[in-house]
Structure 1
């Protein structure tokens, strides 16, 4: 098997995809204790439960039983929260790779410089490449130029914002993916296989249709002020159903709430992005008006079925919500194998692609509006526009 060194491994979304494509994770680095417990429970190989800034590249290579230049691929998704340090980059005060103040991107680049894998994959939030806010992407490009100049490598990066649903994941989830080979070989991102004009998207029914609709798992009942309102919203809708532009009662102003408020899955469509830290009314929720079970969350992220997560409900939601869909990782891993490592042919079918189950059952019936919500019926102003909502006005005051 080809080998992988994994940074910012999380609960293993990237690693499971690369494993499906014939790679073995020789060493993983992850700080979060809950993620590390689950990594050890679900896969083999050393897990370094340490802060990436405090673990040396030599220690990572030693754990992987590799020397510099022997790793096939370096993978990882540096957390996006530390990008508030973008002021360093915007002012031209770029941190060197060994700077003790290093952010997560710079730490990834430091390991890349020292490990010198044959190829690397770095994934992140799409916003990293937004025009005018792309200091993070520019930091990566500048770091690669520095690495090439000091080590004689020829990493030439290729990047693209991809939607996991376009490759068969039953979830709309966009990620920025950056790929490069040590010898400068070109890389072409795979074309979309699913979507308009192509094969039909894999749906939540494809992913969940064989699972029990009432799982034996505690903590799935929706709680809070709005729990009894969710059953009055049709599949595939959110709180906008109960506005003057929806089909229900005018309980809210148009676009006055966040998109995921009372958002419900539809059987015949992909899921919306799974959230890592949802509030009590933050979806997507199951069409049976409850929270998603551990297995359902894993299915929507296309984790292998032999992965079973342990921990609190909040831990599992956070770990899965922060993960990369494993099918997307499998697709990218095969492209790296074929294009950059000359190791095999693309499979006829990906291992983690959900089975198409045919036409989904009819949507669940909606329930009448409970009497306790009727006092909310009335005229509600629509959102007045960007920068003029309640939150923005409150911050301005």
Structure 2
């Protein structure tokens, strides 16, 4: 297998970027392919213990470090990994996205970009400065690039640029890289040698809420139905899967791909809501013929996406149902055997905050290719098997 290249992971969460790192040289969209072991996560850090339990269950060789990154010295992180400054090939991580997420905009401090957790971006820059990795990858929600957070985003780019890393950024749509989910995330990538990073070209195409142009030369977007095709059908549904209560009947009547707007005067439902009076995800049902909308990390009881099929309650009433863990794993392009610690809500929170595997792989693979490591690995394999 050859020597594995060390990676430091910050704000690791459920390990979406970590998984992408360790499978970077695996074939795209080949289920269960772990890759050839080009990269290895040497240390993973997070403040959330359930998330670290998930990491320990799936990354047996990685050291883990629990704590608030603002109180953790870079030397502690490197020591846990058995590394010195300049030895990490990659530093990866996604600072918690809550300060920059649209879902928090009802709070004045977030509309005005005053969330104290936003300072975690500065901590990321600090650790890059003190550990001097060969390259870094930072991931976050698209909201980080909005005008509201312009000062923070520009400070981040300026700080990384002053270190000589020539940071490049781009918002990528997960579905364009084979993930069955219309999830947009910003990636910031930089190289210690100052060379410009080129983002990977999309492999898939399809229409989204912002782009109705389809590139016929690319593979069609993976649909939710395709993602779920070979999953077992469990009957009956468990109680925590059933969408019941105040809006239970209304949710069950909404067709696939529609949301609460079905029950306004403009559609054929019951005219229970005012037009555009709720968030888009309210009572949202999956469309089996399209990728899923973004999987929510902390949904309320009426926040979708819910499955497009109804289930029967014990009294024989039809109800919508929430997504199952194996379905959420598929929507994130995670392997079926990925283990996640905690309750169902813990699972959804961890997956909803994670980087979809195939999206992360595309970025990591492009970076390793441009750094020359994939060519070197292939050359070694050619010599070994010659």
- Which structure has more strand as a fraction of its residues? 2
Query: Taking structure 1 as reference, are residues 311 and 218 closer, same or farther at Cα in structure 2, changes over 3 Å only?
Result: farther
Match of 1:177 among 176, 181, 187: 187
Tell me what 1:158 maps to: 168
Q: Write the distance in 2 (CA, Å) between the matches of 1:218 and 1:336.
A: 45
Match of 1:325 among 348, 356, 362: 356
Tell me what 1:376 maps to: none
Tell me what 2:104 maps to: none
| CA positional deviation for 1:310 | 2.5
Q: CA RMSD in A?
A: 2.4
Tell me what 1:14 maps to: 17
| CA positional deviation for 1:17 | 1.2
CA contact (8 A) 1:224 1:280 kept: no
| CA positional deviation for 1:249 | 3.0
Match of 1:278 among 282, 294, 299: 299
1:78 aligns with 2:95: yes
1:34 aligns with 2:65: no
Match of 1:269 among 280, 287, 290: 290
Tell me what 1:257 maps to: 278
| CA positional deviation for 1:330 | 0.6
Match of 2:202 among 189, 192, 217: 192
Q: Write the distance in 1 (CA, Å) between the matches of 2:135 and 2:150.
A: 23
Tell me what 2:132 maps to: 116
Secondary structure (helix, strand or coil) at the match of 2:220 reads coil
CA contact (8 A) 1:335 1:346 kept: no
Tell me what 1:242 maps to: 263
CA contact (8 A) 1:82 1:104 kept: no
CA contact (8 A) 2:12 2:45 kept: yes
Q: Write the distance in 1 (CA, Å) between the matches of 2:95 and 2:82.
A: 23
Tell me what 2:229 maps to: 209
Tell me what 2:334 maps to: 303
Tell me what 2:81 maps to: 64
Aligned residue pair count = 331
TM-score by length of 2: 0.80
Residue segments in structure 2 that go unaligned for 5+ positions in a row:
25-37, 101-108, 206-213, 310-319, 379-386
Secondary structure (helix, strand or coil) at the match of 1:141 reads helix
126-135 or 261-270, larger mean C-alpha shift? 126-135
Match of 1:316 among 337, 347, 356: 347
| CA positional deviation for 1:306 | 2.0
Cα deviation 1:150-203 (Å, max 9, x = unaligned):
xxxx21011001111111110010011000100011211112221212321001
Residue segments in structure 1 that go unaligned for 5+ positions in a row:
90-99, 149-153, 348-397
Q: Write the distance in 1 (CA, Å) between the matches of 2:301 and 2:257.
A: 18
CA contact (8 A) 1:217 1:293 kept: no
Q: Write the distance in 1 (CA, Å) between the matches of 2:272 and 2:113.
A: 45
| CA positional deviation for 1:247 | 2.9
Secondary structure (helix, strand or coil) at the match of 2:170 reads strand
Larger Rg, first or second structure (1 or 2): 1
| CA positional deviation for 1:129 | 1.4
CA contact (8 A) 1:129 1:136 kept: no
CA contact (8 A) 1:236 1:266 kept: yes
Tell me what 1:375 maps to: none
| CA positional deviation for 1:305 | 1.9
CA contact (8 A) 1:127 1:134 kept: no
